Structures are given as structure tokens and as C-alpha cells.
Chains A and B, each alone.
Chain A
Amino acid sequence: MALVNLERVWKSYKKGRDHVEVLNDISFRANSRDFVALMGPSGSGKTTMLNLIGGLDRPTSGVVTVNDLVLNNLSSGKLARWRSESIGFVFQFYNLLPVFSARQNVELPLLLTKLGRKQRKKNAALALDIVGLSDRARHTPARLSGGQQQRVAIARAIVADPKILVCDEPTGDLDRSTAIEILRLLQVLNQEHDKTIIMVTHDPKAAEYAKRTMLLDKGKLVSSLLQPKVGAEAEA
């Protein structure tokens, strides 16, 4: 059974008087430890598909199943709880809360758990250590570079130990060398920490770090390719 399974999924919404079809009859599977890059032109439905997988949005029709759980029928409260336990999110613009330090930002998802204060602090420190930012734990986002902020965002995404990471253009705001660092970090999380990663990107170079790439166009999946090994995987 696939970890992520989209079965004949449609998504449409109203824009003024128009009815916009964003996803047309999409079926998609991702197995555990998969690393999938979703590519396609703007407006092809990549982010919408990612939002459905992450439980941020609901399909108009079709079934979204993640880890044997059908997300369609979950109440917003249960969906929120499920997101906190099962999914880590990484955004293009990091979306860190500006008043909190790096460690506090990483600790945020743990406030929803039953962990005690000390344990939360310990877990956040561990997550920051994994992304190589232990020495920046007390810094607020404003005092961190773009790459460092994205590492903090990744630490926040993994701190509750979810099986799946959904990443929306994680390198879209970064220069090439920093982007490569982030992509290598994602590869490490995929290969060494068994995270299943679904990443939206415009960048073919970034997509090369995934195990396979899915192409979307006008709301339809048009092709799927396996990638040659790059980055940390190739070096290994």
C-alpha cells in the first residue's frame, strides 16, 4: 500500500463568475521513503496537489489517502491534529514567526504534544542539530540568512518526527549554492531519516535531487520520470 495515494482527484474553485478547474482527475502514489519532485508551469496545480496531500485543502471529488487514512472525511479539528502528527511543511519563504528564536520556532509544533518543557527543548535542539544550526538556536529569523532560515523551517518540519515532508519551492528564494545545501539536507532526511518527501519546484536542477519527478500541466499529470542519482546519493 502506498503511503500517499490520490485517487481520481478533482479540485476546482470559483473565481468570480468563473469555475476554475485546478486538478483534473489526478491519481498519484508515493511510497514510504519516496522523494518526489512535482514540476510544471505556473498554474498547473502543483501547490494545490501539495496542499491536498498535506491536509491543508480538500478535494472537490476523489479520495486522498495518507498512511491508510482517508483525509476527505476528517473534520477540520481532526485534520489539524493529523497534520501536527504526520506532516512536516517547508515553504518557499520559510514562514518562521519573527518574534521567536530559531529554537522556539522549531519548538512550536511540540506545543501541541504532551511533551514536557524540557523534552520539547531537547527535541528542538536535536532537530536544529540535524540541520546543522545548533549554534544559531537563540537567533531570531531576522538575524539568520535565507539558507539558515530554511534550515530552521526544515528543523521545525521534522521536530515532531512526521513520516512525510511536503516542501513548496523550498529553494525558490535561495541562491544556487545555498539551494544545493538545502536539497542535500532533504536528501539526507529522505535517505537517513526515512522521510517521504514531496517537493514542488520550478527548478529542474532541484528536481534532480528527488528520486523521481512528476510533471503536471493544466491540472493533469502528464509524465513521471526516475532521476539519475545526484548529490549525497550519488556521492554515497
Chain B
Amino acid sequence: MTTFGFLIKSMFRRKLLVSLSMLSLTTAFLLFILLRSVAVLFSGDFASVSDVRMQTASKYAIILLLPHSYGEEIAAVEGVRDITFASWFGGVFKEGDDSAMTFAVDPSTYFEVHENYQISSEHLDAFLELRTAAVAPEAIMDRYDLEVGQKVPVTSSIFPTANGEPWTFDLVGTYSSKNEVEADYLPFLFHYEYLKEATGVSDVGWYTFTIEDPEKASEIAQIIDSKFENTADATKTMTESEAMKNWMSQIGDIGLMMNGIIGAVFFTMLLLTANTMIHSYRQRIPDLAVLKTLGFSNNKVAGIMLFESLLFCTTSAAVGIGVATLALNGIGPFLPVGFVLAVTGPTLIWGASIALGLGLVIGLVPAISANRLVIVNALHTK
């Protein structure tokens, strides 16, 4: 028998009780990872978004359009470098599916402003040349099994065609992002001019522009917003990272809700698991006294209790995190494009920290009690 074998066997003294408790804790960690991944998605914690790029959209809602003329006025503000615009199209690529991110853009400026996007000159030229052209990121190409060169039918509830038929785009190329995380959030892009021509809409969804000095972002935002403050189309300007968070928060403060649920789950688990560990300790008092009699020191016996608690929590966490990762990979294809649930590094660190913290907290009382156990009293405890 090895020392580790001894510890494992001691831990599983009550197999059913320990197994069920571990299952509960595993479920808690599974929930933690799933909910935390959702919370991360909705907290807008996107590493890729830039503070050099800014966005001007309607002050009241991102779905409200802004006049096309705003573009020139924004470009004229000191410190603004390159500017482009886009409109939310809400394209549905497959009947019954949710809409995927689809933007009507100005191809001649869009990739200049979004320097983090990568497109071959061949594909960009093709995109610029044809009014019905479109380019798609890998995620959308894979999701809808698209190929460069094909015609892509897309419907939109925001901009339906006059005859009710789908829009048809010529897929002329693909593009990606230098940032891997961002790759899953890239939109399907087509000519704004095509949209304008077909619908008569002359307004745009939002303006995106780069600035020369990120430290002047708030100053620039203030100048732009004050220009349009007393108009029917008041604006809200912010950096891209702020804009992303703002957009997510319009869906609801899901991050807060998720974190609340996670907190409640772990508080309950803390009580349940602590109860299991204390119950287990009480049942083992005579055994612990025997170990002390045989020469196990106070610290060794306390260490056994603490080790068990830590092993209990970390094993449950490892299984829970593992199952959650598999589950997230499994449900990924069923999520709308752009919604990527993944176990992030910080979530893993949180999970590991919670497991260790929980193990220490719930193991502390039994460990201290075991340390202080008086052999002659405990030997006769039944």
C-alpha cells in the first residue's frame, strides 16, 4: 500500500456518500463553467476589440440609423484618421435559423479602418469590383457550407426585398482576423451601395473610425456627440471595446445574473460539502485516534483531512470542467454564428481557484479538529 493509496482508500471509506457528494460538486463545477462562459460572452470581455477604433451610433439604440452626412462631419474632427460605416442587416442564411452577423459596408474603407482584418488583395479587388459581391469569414463559410464563387441567398426581416424573395450575393472571397478569438465573431459583409440601391435607404447603422491618439478618445467622443446633441439623431460615441460592452448590455445584464446564480450554487455546495466533510470527520474520530496512537503526528492527521478535502474538491472540479468543456464543444454548432461559448483561461483559473479555496475552507475545520484530537478521549468514541 502506498501513502497515496492509503489516503484514497481512507477518503472513500463511505463510497456512496463520498461519490454522491462528489457528483454534486462536479455538477456545481459543470454549471459554473457553463454559466461563466455565458457570463463572459455577455460581459463583452473581448480581448480583440480596440481602443484605437471608435464607433458612433445612435444614442438611443443601435438599431436606429444615422444620417449619411454625419460621416463627413466626424471625419473632419481633429484626431480622427480613417472612417467607414456599416449597417446591421440581420441576414438569415438558412430557413428556421437565427440571423447571423451580416453588415452592409463600404468595401473601399471598411478594411482600412479594421486593420486587424486580413483579406487577400485578390478577394478585396473582387469585392470592390462587383456591387452584389460579398465576403464571408471562415466561421460563416463553415457553418453554412459556403464556397467562394457561389451565389448566396440571404433573407432579412429588417430589409426584406420587394417581392419577398431572398437577397442574392456573389460570394467573391473570404477574410479573417489577426486575432483568433475575434475570428468567431466576424460578420458577413456586402456592399452598402447594393442595399441602398435596392431599398432606397440612405442612412447608416454606425460609423467606425480610427483615431491618432487613444488617450484622446473621450475628448473626441465628446466633440462628436456634442455636434449632434440637439438633433433628432443624437449620437453616442465610444471606443470599440466600450461599444461592444454597451451592445451586450442592451440584451440585459446577463453576466450579473449568471454570476449571481454561480454564487448561489457555490454557496449551497459549500454548505453541503462542508456538512459531508464534518460528518465524515466525526465518523472517523476513533480511526484518527488509532492513527495518532500508531505514531501519526497531529500535523500528519490534520494533513490527511486537508488532503482529502482538497482532493475531493479538485477531482470534482476537474471532472466538472472536463464535462463542461465537452458540452460546450458539443453545443457550439447549434449556437448562432458569432456566439461562441468557450472555456477561457480566466474561467479555468477561476475554477481551479474556487476548487482549491473550497477545499481549504471545508477541510480547515476537520483538519484543526483532527490536529487537536486527544487520543485517550477519542479512542473510545463510538
A and B: interacting chains: yes
Quick one: which of A84, A99, A120 contacts B295, CB cutoff 8 A?
A84
Q: Is A97 an interface residue (CB 8 A)?
A: yes
Q: Are the CB atoms of A109 and B1 closer together than 8 Å?
A: no
Q: Are the CB atoms of A51 and B376 closer together than 8 Å?
A: yes
Given A56-B375, A91-B379, A111-B6, also A81-B295 (CB < 8 A): yes
Given A77-B299, A104-B1, also A56-B293 (CB < 8 A): yes
- B297 partner residues in chain A, CB cutoff 8 A: 76-77, 80-81
B115-157 residues at the A interface, CB under 8 angstroms: none
**Which residue of chain B has the shortest Cβ distance to A76 in the bound complex?**
B298
Q: Is A34 an interface residue (CB 8 A)?
A: no
- B287 partner residues in chain A, CB cutoff 8 A: 97-98
Q: Are the CB atoms of B294 and A89 closer together than 8 Å?
A: yes
A66 CB, nearest partner CB in chain B, Å: 14
- A48 partner residues in chain B, CB cutoff 8 A: 376
- Alpha-carbon distance between A48 and B293 when the two chains are bound, in angstroms: 14
Of B286, B293, B295, B296, chain A has the most CB atoms within 10 Å of the CB of: B295
Q: Are the CB atoms of A83 and B6 closer together than 8 Å?
A: no
Residues 94-107 of chain A, each 1 if its beta carbon lies under 8 Å from chain B, else 0? 01011110001001
B64 CB, nearest partner CB in chain A, Å: 69
B296-346 residues at the A interface, CB under 8 angstroms: 296-300
- Alpha-carbon distance between A99 and B292 when the two chains are bound, in angstroms: 17
- B295 partner residues in chain A, CB cutoff 8 A: 80-85, 109, 112
Secondary structure call for the A interface: helix
Q: Are the CB atoms of B9 and A99 closer together than 8 Å?
A: yes
**Which residue of chain B has the shortest Cβ distance to A89 in the bound complex?**
B293
Q: Is B350 an interface residue (CB 8 A)?
A: no
Of A81, A91, A97, chain B has the most CB atoms within 10 Å of the CB of: A97
- A97 partner residues in chain B, CB cutoff 8 A: 10, 287, 290
Q: Is A57 an interface residue (CB 8 A)?
A: yes
- Alpha-carbon distance between A77 and B302 when the two chains are bound, in angstroms: 13
Q: Is A130 an interface residue (CB 8 A)?
A: no
Given A77-B297, A80-B295, also A95-B1 (CB < 8 A): no
Q: How large is the interface on B (under 10, 10 to 19, 20 to 34, 35 or more residues)?
A: 20 to 34
Q: Are the CB atoms of A80 and B292 closer together than 8 Å?
A: yes
- A89 partner residues in chain B, CB cutoff 8 A: 293-294
- Alpha-carbon distance between A89 and B294 when the two chains are bound, in angstroms: 8
- B286 partner residues in chain A, CB cutoff 8 A: 95
A99 CB, nearest partner CB in chain B, Å: 5
A173 CB, nearest partner CB in chain B, Å: 13
Q: Is B163 an interface residue (CB 8 A)?
A: no
- A117 partner residues in chain B, CB cutoff 8 A: 1-2
Q: Is A26 an interface residue (CB 8 A)?
A: no
Q: Are the CB atoms of B296 and A95 closer together than 8 Å?
A: no
- Alpha-carbon distance between A76 and B286 when the two chains are bound, in angstroms: 19
- Alpha-carbon distance between A227 and B215 when the two chains are bound, in angstroms: 98
Residues 107-119 of chain A, each 1 if its beta carbon lies under 8 Å from chain B, else 0? 1110110000100
Residues 341-377 of chain B, each 1 if its beta carbon lies under 8 Å from chain A, else 0? 0000000000000000000000000000000000110
Residues 143-164 of chain A, each 1 if its beta carbon lies under 8 Å from chain B, else 0? 0000000000000100000000
- B9 partner residues in chain A, CB cutoff 8 A: 99-100, 104
B351 CB, nearest partner CB in chain A, Å: 30
Q: Are the CB atoms of B292 and A57 closer together than 8 Å?
A: no
Q: Is B69 an interface residue (CB 8 A)?
A: no
- Alpha-carbon distance between A109 and B379 when the two chains are bound, in angstroms: 17
B270 CB, nearest partner CB in chain A, Å: 27
- Alpha-carbon distance between A156 and B1 when the two chains are bound, in angstroms: 14
Q: Is B13 an interface residue (CB 8 A)?
A: yes
Q: Are the CB atoms of B10 and A99 closer together than 8 Å?
A: yes
**Which residue of chain B has the shortest Cβ distance to A56 in the bound complex?**
B375
Given A95-B286, A99-B10, A100-B9, also A83-B1 (CB < 8 A): no
- Alpha-carbon distance between A99 and B13 when the two chains are bound, in angstroms: 6
- Alpha-carbon distance between A76 and B300 when the two chains are bound, in angstroms: 12
- B12 partner residues in chain A, CB cutoff 8 A: 99
**Which residue of chain B has the shortest Cβ distance to A107 in the bound complex?**
B1
Q: Are the CB atoms of A111 and B3 closer together than 8 Å?
A: yes
Q: Is B291 an interface residue (CB 8 A)?
A: yes
Q: Are the CB atoms of A77 and B298 closer together than 8 Å?
A: yes
- Alpha-carbon distance between A84 and B292 when the two chains are bound, in angstroms: 9
A30 CB, nearest partner CB in chain B, Å: 20
- B375 partner residues in chain A, CB cutoff 8 A: 51, 56-57
- A84 partner residues in chain B, CB cutoff 8 A: 294-296
B10 CB, nearest partner CB in chain A, Å: 7
A21-62 residues at the B interface, CB under 8 angstroms: 48, 51, 54, 56-57
A70 CB, nearest partner CB in chain B, Å: 19
A87 CB, nearest partner CB in chain B, Å: 8
Q: Are the CB atoms of B376 and A57 closer together than 8 Å?
A: yes
B13 CB, nearest partner CB in chain A, Å: 5
Q: Are the CB atoms of B293 and A112 closer together than 8 Å?
A: no
B124 CB, nearest partner CB in chain A, Å: 67
Give 29 A-B contacts (CB < 8 Å), ordered by A residue: A48-B376, A51-B375, A51-B376, A56-B293, A56-B375, A57-B376, A76-B298, A80-B297, A80-B298, A80-B300, A82-B295, A83-B294, A83-B295, A84-B296, A85-B295, A91-B379, A95-B290, A97-B10, A97-B287, A99-B12, A100-B1, A104-B6, A104-B9, A109-B294, A111-B1, A112-B294, A112-B296, A117-B1, A156-B294
What are the 10 tightest A-B residue pairs by CB atom distance, in nearest-first order?
Answer: A84-B295, A80-B297, A83-B295, A95-B290, A77-B297, A109-B294, A56-B375, A104-B1, A99-B13, A80-B295
B residues in contact (CB < 8 Å) with A:
1-3, 6, 9-10, 12-13, 286-287, 290-300, 375-376, 379
